Amino acid sequence: MVSWDDYHFFYSDHYEVELDPNHRFPMNKYSLLRKSLIEKGIVKNSQIIAADLINIDHLYLAHTPDYIEQVLDLSLSRQKARAIGLPLTEEMVRRALGSQGAFWQAITSSLDTGFSASLAGGTHHAHADSGEGFCFFNDFAVNVRRLHRERPGYKILILDLDVHQGNGNSSILNKDKDVFITSYHGKHNYPYRKVPSHLDRSFADGTGDEEYLRTLSEDLSKFSKMGFQHLLYQAGVDSLKGDAFGKLSMSHEGLKERDRMVFEFAKRNQIPVTMALGGGYSKDIAETVKAYTGTYEMAKKVF
């Protein structure tokens, strides 16, 4: 019998990056979350592990050689670098590789215990030959391909509840066998050109909790009959009311209910869950950290 203390979580913010304090990306949210989880007694220090860098070879499973090499040697064109929205520096690239490593370690750990998470990542906007939306390399695409190489035919559900459509997941993985991609997102949120996934749920501005949770409940009961063997959960909290980049106006309670439903679904169907952090950009970053923390509180209740 596995208990909560047996679950492990992987972080990558020990690969330090200094951003201009006026930069619109809240780089400090990762370490703030880690602190919040410990201070609130939700996880113990022994449960959180500093992630290793991914072995570069694995990136080639989902990205083109030119793109990988240009990111690694910092020679990406200025235009392509600008689309990512984060400075192309050695530190930043190391962090991106650490975040990839964290997701793979979390996948491996969840195969043993049934549940694990990366305290980073969810880089669902990166395409095979380009990055965008704060994403250099796509942790879902790289690691789904890696998992499938080890376990051919393994049926994976990607449930992407970040407020932004997972265009990179779709552009890379849409034609792969044995992966089913679901994206819930704001219709008028970035990316403005969505790339169809297997199931897209597109919500109007200000949708709020009720319609969102009703849709999720219906979809999860369908998923229960589809024979999935693993859930990769993009648990972004940028659908929270007041998020600078999200328009769905969900409440903290609504997000916790969302997470409860997802975790219960996995538990009921005995599917291992690997979670990635995803987006969160509240004007007051404490709100985002509170929402991320809420996800872990709910996980602890359910698992």
Contacts of 226 (CB under 8 A, 6+ apart): 155, 157, 180
How far, in Å, are 121, 162, 195 from residue 185 at the CA level?
Answer: 18, 7, 12
Amino acid letter at 250? M
How far, in Å, are 181, 187, 246 from residue 102 at the CA level?
Answer: 21, 30, 26
Shortest reach from residue 151's CB to Zn ion, in Å: 28
Compute how many other C-beta atoms are within 10 angstroms of the C-beta atom of residue 260. Answer: 16
d(CA 283, CA 241): 10
Between 13 and 238, name the residue whose CB sits nearer to Zn ion.
Answer: 238
Which residue number has the CB closest to Zn ion? 279
Shortest reach from residue 267's CB to Zn ion, in Å: 26
Q: Quick one: CA dihedral 120, 124, 127, 132, positive or negative?
A: negative
Between 272 and 279, name the residue whose CB sits nearer to Zn ion.
Answer: 279
- Which residue in the set 160, 209, 238, 243 belongs to the binding site for Zn ion (CB under 5 A)? 238
Q: How many residues bind Zn ion (CB under 5 A)?
A: 5
- The binding track of 125-164 with respect to Zn ion, each residue x by CB under 5 A or -, is -------------------------------------x-x
Shortest reach from residue 298's CB to Zn ion, in Å: 19
Between 209 and 238, name the residue whose CB sits nearer to Zn ion.
Answer: 238
Shortest reach from residue 223's CB to Zn ion, in Å: 22
Shortest reach from residue 203's CB to Zn ion, in Å: 13
Between 19 and 111, name the residue whose CB sits nearer to Zn ion.
Answer: 19
Shortest reach from residue 260's CB to Zn ion, in Å: 21
Residue 168 interacting with Zn ion (CB under 5 A): no
Shortest reach from residue 121's CB to Zn ion, in Å: 12
- The binding track of 262-291 with respect to Zn ion, each residue x by CB under 5 A or -, is -----------------x------------
Give Cα 148 to chain centroid, integer Å. Answer: 19
Rg, Å, the chain Cα set: 18
Between 123 and 143, name the residue whose CB sits nearer to Zn ion.
Answer: 123
d(CA 115, CA 48): 13
Residue 236 interacting with Zn ion (CB under 5 A): yes
Nearest C-alpha neighbor of 179 from the set 153, 142, 218, 217 = 153
Q: What are phi and psi of 160, to 5 degrees?
A: -110, 100
User: Using CB under 5 A as the criterion, which residues of the chain lie in contact with Zn ion when the complex forms?
Assistant: 162, 164, 236, 238, 279
